[in-house]
Amino acid sequence: MFSFRVCAGLVGCRIGICVRSLRSCPGITIDEEVAKLLELKAQLGGDDGKHQFVLKTAKGTRDYNPKQMAIREKVFNTIISCFKRHGAETIDTPVFELKETLTGKYGEDSKLIYDLKDQGGELLSLRYDLTVPFARYLAMNKITNIKRYHIAKVYRRDNPAMTRGRYREFYQCDFDIAGQYDPMIPDAECLKIVHEILSELDLGEFRIKVNDRRILDGMFAVCGVPADKFRTICSTVDKLDKMSWEDVKNEMVNEKGLSEEAADHIGEYVSLQGGMDLAERLLQDQKLSQSKEACAGLSDMKLLFSYLQIFQVTDKVVFDLSLARGLDYYTGIIYEAVLTQVGVVPAPVSTEAQNGAAEETVSVGSVAGGGRYDGLVGMFDPKSRKVPCVGVSIGIERVFSIMEQKAEASAEKVRTTEVQVMVASAQKNLLEERLKLTTELWNAGIKAEVMYKKNPKLLSQLQHCEDSGIPLVAILGEQELKDGVVKLRTVATREEVWQGCWQLTPVSLCLNSAQVCCSVT
C-alpha cells in the first residue's frame, strides 16, 4: 500500500514537472501529453485504491418515503374518483415513443425531449407528455370517440426546481374527450373537472385562466405580427406569468425580431382580463373585430361562459388574454389553473431531495393546464382524418409538494398502512395462537398484523400500534385461551371495547368507530 501511494504521488509530481518542461519545447502538444499522464494516474487509482461513489438520485428526480407515498395515494384517489365520476375510462401507452412521433409537436420545448441511444434500428425518445401518445393511440387504433384518463410518468430535460415541484421525471394526470361534439360542451366539462379536483384537494385559493388560440392568432394578426412568427411570439407571451412585460417585450423585439410598435399593441391586449363581458366588448373592438378567426374564438368564449354558469364554476374562471400556452398543437380554447394563495407556509426541501440545488422555497404557481387540439390526431392518420380533442392535465407534482408541506405543518399523523387490528399476546409461548387468529382475520378480509417474534413484550406490541396508527389490538393470554375468548382494545385509550369467543364459533369484531363489522369463522 505504501509503494502504491508513493507511485501515485510520483505520477502527480511528474505531471507538474513535465508540464513545465513541455511549455518550453516547441512542436509538442501539451494537452496530449497531459492526457496521457492523467490516464496513467487513473490506471493507478486513487490514494487508497477505492472508487469514489456518491449515493444520490439523478438530477431532477427524487425518492418518496412511505409517508409521502401515503399522501400521493390520497391525491391520486381524489383525482381518479373525479375522472370516473365524469365517465372516463383509462388506457396506458409505452414510456418511450418513436422519436418522429414526438418531433415537431412541442414548439420551442422540443429541446427538452430526452432522446435515447439507437438500440436496434429505431430512434426513440422518452415521452414528453401524455397528449401526443394519446393522439398516436387514437390514430393507430382508428378511434374516433373516447373519454379517457391516463396517469403515468413523463420526462423532460428541463432545469429542475425541486422546491416548486418541477422535476425531470414526474407524473401527469390527464383527462381528455375525443370526438365530434357540439361546441364548448366538452371544454366546459374539463374546466368543471379542474374546479372539482382543486376544491376537493383544498390546496388554497385558485383561479382558472382561459383564452383561445384563435383569439391570440387574430390578436397577433391585427397587431402586425407576421404569420410566420405567430408561434414563436406565442411562446414568448406564454412567459408573462414568470417575467415582467418589459422583459417579454424585450425578448419579442430584440430576440424574435418583432417591431416595437407591434409589441406595444400586443401589450394593450394581454393586460385585459374579465369574463363574458370582456368577450362581448372585444367583439366590438375596432381592430380585433376585423379578424374572423378572433371573432369565432370570442363567440365560443361567450358560449363557454354560459355553460360554466350552469356548472357553477364562474367564480373561479377568468378570461385572460395573456394566457398563451406554448405548445404548438393547441387550436382552440386553452386554460390554466394557478394557485393565488396557499394555506400553509412552505417548508424547505431536504438537501438530499434537492441534490445540491440552491433554490428559494416557493410553492404557488400553475397546477393544471390544457386546451383543445383538433389537428393533432390528423398528423398521425395516413389519410389526415381529424379527431377533435380537448383535455386537461393536472400538475400533480406541484400538488404533491403543497400537500406534503401542509402535512408537515399539521400535527395530524399520516398513516402509511391500513392495518385495522394488531394481534398481540400478553404472555409467552403464544406464537401459534397469534398466527391462527391472524390467519382467520386475513381470511375474513380484515387488515391485520402480528409481530415477527416468538415472545414479544406487550408494551412493545402496543407501542408498534401507536407508531403505526393501528386503532385496535386483539389480545390473547393464557386465561383468554382457557375461556375461549379474545379481548379487543382501543389502542389510544387502552379501553376494552369487546370480548367474545373465537375458537370454533363465529366471531363478530367491531373494528372501528365507524362500526365496520367483519365476520371471522
Q: Are 109 and 128 in contact (CB under 8 A)?
A: yes
Element (H, E) at 343: none
Burial environment of residue 23 by CB neighbours within 10 A (0 to 12, 13 to 18, 19 or more): exposed
DSSP for 225-247, written as a single string:
--GGGHHHHHHHHGGGGTS-HHH
- Furthest C-alpha separation in the chain: 101
Q: How far is CA 309 from CA 192, 211, 275, 338, in A?
A: 10, 17, 11, 20
Number of residues assigned to the chain? 521
Q: Which residues are annotated as a binding site for L-histidine?
A: 129-131, 156, 172, 176, 325, 329-330
Q: Which grid cell is 171?
A: 407524473
Q: How many helices and strands, by DSSP H and E, does the chain display?
A: 17, 18
Q: Which residues pair with 341 in a beta bridge?
A: 205
SS3 346: coil
Q: Which residues are annotated as a binding site?
A: 129-131, 156, 172, 176, 325, 329-330
DSSP for 96-140, written as a single string:
EEEHHHHTTSSGGGGGGPPBPPPSSS--EEE-S-SHHHHHHHHHH
Q: How far is CA 248 from CA 104, 264, 308, 311, 502, in A?
A: 24, 11, 31, 35, 73
